[in-house]
Amino acid sequence: MIRDEHINAAVAQGILTSDQAIRLRELARDASAELDDRDSIPDPDDEKFRLIGGFNDVFVTIGVGLLIAALFGLARVLEFTPGFSVLALVSAWGLSEIFSRRMRLALPSIVLAFMFAGAAALLGGSLAGSAFTAMGLESDAAASWSFVAGSVSAALAALLHDRRFQVPIDTALAAGSAICGVLLALNAALPSWSESLSVALTALFGLAVFVAAQRIDATDPARVTRRSDVAFWLHMLAAPMIVRSVMPLATGGTTEIDALRAVFILAVFAFLGLVALVIDRRALLVSGLTYAGIAIAYLLSQSVEQEGLGLSLTLLSLAALVLALSAGWRSLRRTIVPRLPLGRWRSHIPLPT
């Protein structure tokens, strides 16, 4: 590689003029900057998100975990749970000022976001439980409504944390806590409501979160901004809600599985895989693997008599599926996505690379 001393030697020996040396240095500098920019552009198909920037992230996270354990231990010894919640809230906020706002460490920021929301849930739930008991509510009713208050407190705390520190997972924490609060409130107000209604409502909430994640993704198809990380965590929240609600509703529950339901589960899994390919998010596939495994295990059990062989073959099939999708993800997107009639939605999804 040509260095500055080589160019200076070339000028001294008359191989290059001073003007040529200046132009050569500018050319090298521009080419190097262009290469760095090209290497720093993330590939949307990799679905990258910041989790660990270095071992310091792990080191700080261990320290946060030790702090949580110490505060919890002190609260148990002193028998003062609200005090633990207050200390955890203050500690999480103060540490977020250092590790989230100033140092921008990814993994500690995620743990501190959970710590802040969890401490708020404990504090809000304990205070609400005491208040409801003082109002004369029965213990079961007071406990139910205290859980609702805890969920609402966690949602508000996550929104407050996001406003100050802009940790991408805060949005998913707020959404998940709010959904839990609604479901718990309905269960407390209407104890006789059916489980099937709860499952259907969870599916609707999951679809709503999925749509919100897609709208955020549509603003950043190249996935180079913080919005992509926010959408990633929303997809991680929506996927299990959708899959674990739609599958039982569609099949009547995996406890009643038969050959027809097994095939239907695999068909639904294939459809989820197609959606995942189009939007370039793997969360739906990961959430559907359990049901796909159940369906494959049932079908294999009908043709394999040797004990233990069916489980091994099921795990082998799932491993082959996951590895094949991982290796051929880009090829599948290049083959399938351009042939789908997506219309105006095509400009809102990452282009196959």
Higher pLDDT, 270 or 77: 270
Q: Which of 280, 301, 283 minimizes the C-alpha distance to 349? A: 280
Residues 113 and 249 occupy one common structural domain: no
Contacts of 124 (CB under 8 A, 6+ apart): 149, 150, 152, 153, 154
Query: In this model, does residue 117 exceed pLDDT 90?
Result: yes
pLDDT mean over 148-155: 94
Residues 27 and 65 occupy one common structural domain: no
* pLDDT of amino acid 37: 41
Kindly indicate the confidence band of residue 208, based on its pLDDT and cuts at 50, 70 and 90: very high
Task: Return the exposure string of 25-44: e unless at least 16 CB atoms fall within 10 Å of the residue's CB, then b.
Answer: eeeeeeeeeeeeeeeeeeeb
Higher pLDDT, 139 or 215: 215
DSSP category for residue 50: -
The most confident of the ranges 89-103, 188-202, 218-232, 296-310 is 89-103
DSSP category for residue 82: H
Residues 265 and 134 occupy one common structural domain: no
257 domain-assigned: yes
Residues 147 and 178 occupy one common structural domain: yes
* pLDDT of amino acid 307: 59
Q: Could you give the percent of the chain with pLDDT greater than 70? A: 83
* pLDDT of amino acid 189: 83
For Cα atoms 64, 69, 70, give the angle at the middle one, nearest 5 degrees: 95
Query: In this model, does residue 43 exceed pLDDT 80?
Result: no
Residues 68 and 148 occupy one common structural domain: yes
Residues 34 and 87 occupy one common structural domain: no
Q: What tokens does 194 get?
A: 């059916």
Average pLDDT for the chain: 82
Quote the domain boundaries for residue 350.
242-353
Query: In this model, does residue 2 exceed pLDDT 90?
Result: no
225 domain-assigned: no
Domains held by the chain: number: 3
Q: What tokens does 178 get?
A: 């709010």
* pLDDT of amino acid 38: 40
199 domain-assigned: no
- What's the pTM? 0.79
